[in-house]
Amino acid sequence: MKLKSTLAFISATTRSVDWRLSFVPFIMACVYLWSSLFNIGFSLGSLSVFALSVCTTFGFAALGYFINEFFDKADDLKAGKINKLSLISRRWQLALFIVILSACFLPWLYLPKNTITFYLILAELSCFILYSAPYLRMKRSTYFAGILDTLYAYLIPGLLSYHTYSLLASRLSSSVPILFFIALFFIGYRNIFLHQIKDILGDQKAGMISLPMRLGVKSSYVFLKLLYFLELVLILSFSVELIFIDKRYMPCLLLAIIYLGYVQADLLNIFKGATYFALLPIRHVLDLLYQLWFPLLQLSILVWIDWRWVIIVPFHLLFFVNRDFIVTFYGITIDYLWYRSLRPLLSAVLNYPIFLLFKMFGVDLIKEKKSALSYLKNKFR
C-alpha cells in the first residue's frame, strides 16, 4: 500500500499522465524498432538493456517535468494554475529529485555508451535547463520554445535510443532512417504547437507570447495545416524508407495506409479548414498511430524476429497503453466481428433452416412473432 501511494505521489508530482501514455510509448516504439533493426536477439543481457532503457526513459521524462515544474512556480501562480511541486515540502522535493536522478543516470552504468552518448545526454539536459531555468527561460521565447521542447521530448531521446542500440549491436545500421528522425521532429513540433494553443489563455495571464499568439488565429491554423501535411508525407516516407532498409518493415507502410484511410474523414476536416479544429478532439487524429499502433506493430515485429520477446508484451500493455484505447478497441472489434458480421451470418445460417422446417409443418414463426424455442414451449406446456 505504501509503495502504491509513493508511486502515485511520484506520478502526480512529475505529471506522469502527460507523458506516460503520449510520447513515452512512441520512444518505446523506437526502442523496439532499433532492437529489430539491429537484430538484437532475446537474452538476459538484452532484456536488462530493455528494462534499463525503460527506466532511463521514465527518468528523463520525469526529470524534464520536474525541472519545468520547479522553475514554473511563479508563472503558474500568475496564470492561476496549480503547481504540483509547490504542494509538497522542500524535503520531499529533494527526495523526489534524487529518485528521478537515479532513474535517469544509474542505468547508464550498465547501458552501452561512448562519447556520443554523453553528448546526447548533455544536449538533453541542456535543453531542460535552457527551456525552464530563470534568466535563460527559453520557454518564454516565441520561436525557440517549441523547437527546444521537441528536441528534448522527441528527437534527442530518439537519437539516444538509436545510438544505444547500435552500440549494443556493436554496429551501425547500413542505412540510418533519416526520414524517421525528421518525422520525429515534426510530430513533436506539431504536438507542442497544439499544446501552446491549448495553454494560450494561461500563457497570456503569465505574460508569455507563444508562437500561436504571435501568429494570430488565422496564420496559426494555416501553419498547423502545413505541419499536418508534412507529417502525413513523412509518415508515408519513413514507412517506405523502412521497407528499403529491411523488407520485414512492410507492415509499417500497411499500418500507415490503413490508419490514414480509417481517419481520412477527420484529416479532411482538418485540411478543409474545419473551424476550431485546433480546439477539437480531431486535432489528436494522428496521435493514436504513434501512441498505440506504431509501438504495438514494432513490438509485434520484434516478437516475430524472436518470439521470446513476447515477455515484454504484458509490460507494454500495462504501462504504455491507455486503457480507454483498449476498451474502445474491444467495443469496436466486438461490434464489427460479432454484431455486424458473425451474428447476422449465424442468424442467417441457423435461423433460416429452422424457419423453413417449421414452415413445412405449417407454422409461420414470423407471423406468430415467436422464436422456435418459445413456440415449442407454448405448444408443449
Q: Site residues (CB under 8 A) for another protein?
A: 178-179, 197-198, 200-201, 204, 212-213, 216-217, 229, 232-234, 236-237, 240-241, 244, 264-265, 268, 271-272, 275-276, 279-280
- To another protein, the closest distance from the beta carbon of 222 in angstroms equals 14
Which one-letter DSSP state was computed for residue 174? S
> 82 vs 109, which CB is nearer to another protein?
82
- d(C-alpha 165, C-alpha 39), whole Å: 10
Return the C-alpha cell found at 68: 519545468
CA max distance for the chain:
91
- To another protein, the closest distance from the beta carbon of 194 in angstroms equals 13
- To another protein, the closest distance from the beta carbon of 244 in angstroms equals 7
> 67 vs 155, which CB is nearer to another protein?
155
> 276 vs 307, which CB is nearer to another protein?
276
> 257 vs 346, which CB is nearer to another protein?
257
> 283 vs 316, which CB is nearer to another protein?
283
Instruction: Give the count of beta carbons closer than 10 Å to the beta carbon of residue 381.
Output: 5
Q: For residue 26, what are the contacts with CB-CB under 8 A and spacing of at least 6?
A: 154, 187, 290, 291, 294, 295
- To another protein, the closest distance from the beta carbon of 200 in angstroms equals 5
- To another protein, the closest distance from the beta carbon of 178 in angstroms equals 5
Position 53, amino acid:
S
Instruction: Give the count of beta carbons closer than 10 Å to the beta carbon of residue 191.
Output: 25
- To another protein, the closest distance from the beta carbon of 263 in angstroms equals 12
> 273 vs 344, which CB is nearer to another protein?
273
Q: How buried is 331 (Cβ within 10 angstroms: 0-12 exposed, 13-18 middle, 19+ buried)? A: exposed
> 20 vs 283, which CB is nearer to another protein?
283
Which one-letter DSSP state was computed for residue 109? G
Position 85, amino acid:
L
User: Would residue 273 be called left, alpha or beta, if left means φ above 0 and alpha means ψ between -120 and 50 degrees?
Assistant: left
- To another protein, the closest distance from the beta carbon of 59 in angstroms equals 28
- d(C-alpha 279, C-alpha 88), whole Å: 33
| Residue whose cell numbers read 406446456 | 381
Return the C-alpha cell found at 2: 505504501
- To another protein, the closest distance from the beta carbon of 179 in angstroms equals 5
> 98 vs 327, which CB is nearer to another protein?
327
Distances (CA, A) of 92 to 11, 13, 305: 14, 10, 45
- d(C-alpha 323, C-alpha 95), whole Å: 30
